[in-house]
Structure 1
Amino acid sequence: MTLGFIGCGNMASAIISGILEKEIVKKEEIFASTKSEVSAQKITDALGISCSTDNLAVAKKADYLFLCIKPQFCGDVAEEIRDCLPDGQVLISIIAGKNLDWLQEKFGTDKKIIRTMPNTPALVGEGITGVCPNQFVSPDEIRQVLTLLRSFGRADVVTEPILDVVGAVSGSSPAFVFLFIEALADGAVAEGMPRKQAYEFASQAVLGSAKMVLETGIHPGALKDMVCSPAGTTIEGVNVLEKEGMRSAVMDAVRACIAKTKKL
């Protein structure tokens, strides 16, 4: 099995690193292309794969071709490679805002296409990816792609309308979480904790809290109640967050991300 990556930025590099770490394919079976010779050499040095500036060469070799380019460049890349794509090839898009109908129009109405939405925690092997195949992708091919995507975190099949929601609730939300961690640390610093230590404690608290949700299966609200002792310190903090509208602010932020995605 050969893998191709058109575009090899941070996300593509995270995907490749996960695949190599799990030994799903060998380095010699992965090919990538970037815009410049300098970046191609950096990728080759960092990952040990073949990387060039030749999109056509990569497209022709790949059994599974990842499209890891920005939305504004997708049309030009499609025009460049669509006539040389091998029969039976599976295209895997991580391009935000470009739905299956658009991708099929640009790359071919008979092409096997899987639209995905990974997120940046893939860089540390803790990503979550929404996966939406078109009607031409076989169950075996879907399983193979899920295996590739699970090499750097979790991955699940969703319907296409839900994929735009995935882009907000998991794709954009790390930025919200980073803001929250920074704010937690700032509060601790204001009360005398050294900043480096404050970031460590706040980050580990968020990591552990997320793990509790995933591993216990207990509703987040119930977990919150477990921390809030009667007349205790935590319920006082929760009261402030509720008064300041934390829930509605986060909900509005998620919906704003979805609205923006639909305009891309």
Structure 2
Amino acid sequence: MTVVAVLGAGKIGELVLSGLLRAGWPASKLLVTTRRAARGDELRERYGVRVVDNAAAVAEADVLAIAVKPQDAGTLLAEIGAKIPADKLIISLCAGLPTGFFAARLPEGTPVVRVMTNTPALVDQAMTAISAGPHATGEHLAVAEEMFKPLGATIRVPESQQDAVTALSGSGPAYFYLLVEAMIDAGILLGLPRQVAHELIVQTAIGSAVMLRDSGEHPVKLREAVTSPAGTTISAIRELENHGVRAALLAALEAARDRAREIAAQST
């Protein structure tokens, strides 16, 4: 089985590590690198994986999953880039960084795949977008899919769409959590105990998401099915529209996309 090294086991790196283990990937085939010894000890105890330095990861792994913060990627590649054999597969989990950033710092011909996943990987419900970079083939994309399918759903997209993916699904869970938080507060305002409001909204969110996924219906049709003439729902939707909720979402996602582009520009 392919040996995978996760370089930088922060939040996203640990998501990948734990997901692979839940999917049955042997701990003996997983390596991890960390900046802090205490963090390495924590991961070793929690998952039974081997914690190594960057040089050992490069020497032993077939796939290097780079999960450091985008601003730290240049420093990491300055340390190990020239030592990476061109037949290693590089998977970048660094938000905002194009594959060209890695190609410029790696030996000629090194395949790079760009991946954007999200935190629902913790419950095996991630949405992961995968893009081929320089020298990456369909076989390389298939390896990435094998790694990330156990974490949820995967989709292949052109790399030119990755900043939009980052804005939409990479950051997307935070938008839903904010909406749920606001609806729980509204429930309290309307006189419900917090726990009751929480249970009502969370299950409503789950049920709505499953209907969207499984019914095949457009969200407009599903919304219309709840919206009776002169009823409570249309009154609420009118207020949402009056307060510009739709426009605010459009502006928010554009801001997230633009920030992803800024990160790339600052890193080059």
Structure-2 separation of matches of 1:15 and 1:205? 29
Structure-1 separation of matches of 2:137 and 2:178? 41
Tell me the CA shift for residue 86 of structure 1: 2.9
Partner of 2:47: 47
The CA deviation string for residues 196-244 of structure 1, in whole angstroms up to 9 with x for no partner, is 2212221221122122111111111111001111222111111111111
List structure 1 segments (4+ residues) > 4 angstroms apart after TM superposition.
none
Tell me the CA shift for residue 14 of structure 1: 1.5
Amino acid at match of 2:125: E
The CA deviation string for residues 87-120 of structure 1, in whole angstroms up to 9 with x for no partner, is 4110000101111111100223311100111111
**Contact 1:132/1:158 (CA < 8 Å) preserved in 2?**
yes
Query: 1:8-47 maps to which residues of 2 (within 5 A)?
Result: 8-23=9-24, 25-47=25-47
Partner of 2:247: 248
194-203 or 247-256: bigger deviation: 194-203
Residue 107 of structure 1 aligns to a residue whose secondary structure is coil
Partner of 1:210: 209
13-22 or 113-122: bigger deviation: 13-22
User: How many corresponding residue pairs?
Assistant: 262
TM-score normalized by the length of structure 2? 0.94
Tell me the CA shift for residue 68 of structure 1: 0.3
Tell me the CA shift for residue 135 of structure 1: 4.3
Amino acid at match of 2:101: W
Percent of aligned positions with the same letter in both sequences? 29
Structure-2 separation of matches of 1:48 and 1:235? 53
Whether 1:5 and 2:17 are equivalent positions in the alignment is no
**Contact 1:11/1:122 (CA < 8 Å) preserved in 2?**
no
**Contact 1:119/1:128 (CA < 8 Å) preserved in 2?**
yes
Query: 1:1-264 maps to which residues of 2 (within 5 A)?
Result: 1-23=2-24, 25-52=25-52, 54-264=53-263
Structure-1 separation of matches of 2:143 and 2:241? 44
Amino acid at match of 1:210: A
Tell me the CA shift for residue 41 of structure 1: 0.4
TM-score normalized by the length of structure 1? 0.96
Structure-2 separation of matches of 1:69 and 1:135? 20
**Contact 1:116/1:131 (CA < 8 Å) preserved in 2?**
yes
Structure-2 separation of matches of 1:8 and 1:197? 37
63-72 or 203-212: bigger deviation: 203-212
**Contact 1:34/1:40 (CA < 8 Å) preserved in 2?**
yes
Amino acid at match of 1:69: V
Amino acid at match of 1:180: L
Amino acid at match of 1:95: C
Amino acid at match of 1:218: E
**Contact 2:86/2:109 (CA < 8 Å) preserved in 1?**
no
Amino acid at match of 2:161: I
Unmatched segments (≥5 aa) in structure 2: 264-268
Residue 132 of structure 1 aligns to a residue whose secondary structure is strand
Structure-1 separation of matches of 2:22 and 2:167? 28
**Contact 1:96/1:261 (CA < 8 Å) preserved in 2?**
yes
Tell me the CA shift for residue 140 of structure 1: 2.3
Amino acid at match of 1:97: G
Amino acid at match of 1:29: K
